[in-house]
């Protein structure tokens, strides 16, 4: 599955959830453009999705990623690598600092090795500047997220049928957002006690 296919699955899921009296509104983040010489060029710099939970009005934002390797490389989020990817990550970090639910939705593809195999798995991994994982990333101590790390610090996202009439499973985005909200609340209460 490609990144674009994964994004489309997520978008279709949240649209179905919304049409069924859903608990959130969600949309793609806006696209920016700049005039370069004599023509307009699209600048991709925001994460894939953002929205608001009902009834709290709490904002969430997340970026979809697909990984076919043993770990998800984070180097593209560093300044100077791919400017728009670093801008996406900074957007997530800034929103989280202001209380929004921010996370990466990483889908690890199925992998068949000679001695082991790994089932496909999707994880919601929280993004916040005060989480030790991201402090280590900023200080260049880590450069990737392994499946095990995503399982430890994030939440596994179930793939299920959005409605009884559906015939195609998709990631349960709303459950992922709610799990990230719970994780963020626990983390904020720890910070408040310290």
- pLDDT, tens digit, 9 for 90 and up, residues 159-179: 998 877 878 899 999 899 999
Number of domains in the chain: 1
Q: What is the pTM of this model?
A: 0.83
Look up the CATH number of the domain holding residue 145. Answer: 3.40.1350.10
Domain span at 39: 3-193
pLDDT tens, position by position, 65-88: 999 998 999 988 887 655 667 888
CA 79 centroid distance within chain: 19
Q: What pLDDT does residue 120 have?
A: 92
Q: Taking a C-beta distance cutoff of 8 angstroms, is the pair 131, 92 a contact?
A: no
Higher pLDDT, 60 or 84: 60
Q: Which of 37-51, 94-108, 141-155 has the lowest mean pLDDT?
A: 37-51
Largest Cα–Cα separation, the chain: 55
DSSP string spanning 87-129?
HHHHHHHHHHHTT-EEEEEEEEPPEE-SS-EE--EEEEEE--T
User: Phi, psi at residue 129, to the nearest 5°?
Assistant: -65, -20
């Amino acid at each position: 599955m490609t990144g674009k296919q994964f994004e489309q699955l997520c978008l279709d899921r949240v649209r179905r959830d919304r049409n069924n009296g859903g608990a959130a509104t969600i949309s793609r983040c806006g696209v920016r453009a700049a005039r370069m010489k004599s023509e307009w060029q699209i600048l991709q710099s925001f994460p894939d999705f953002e929205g608001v939970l009902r009834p709290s009005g709490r904002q969430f934002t997340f970026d979809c990623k697909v990984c076919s390797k043993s770990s998800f490389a984070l180097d593209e989020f560093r300044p100077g690598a791919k400017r728009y990817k670093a801008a996406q990550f900074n957007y997530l970090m800034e929103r989280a600092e202001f209380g929004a639910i921010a996370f990466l939705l990483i889908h690890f593809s199925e992998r068949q090795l000679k001695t082991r195999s790994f089932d496909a798995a999707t994880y919601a991994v929280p993004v916040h500047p005060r989480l030790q994982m991201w402090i280590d990333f900023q200080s260049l101590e880590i450069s990737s997220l392994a499946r095990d790390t995503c399982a430890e610090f994030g939440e596994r996202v179930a793939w299920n049928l959005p409605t009884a009439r559906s015939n195609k499973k998709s990631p349960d985005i709303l459950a992922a957002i709610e799990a990230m909200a719970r994780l963020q609340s626990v983390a904020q209460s720890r910070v408040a006690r310290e």
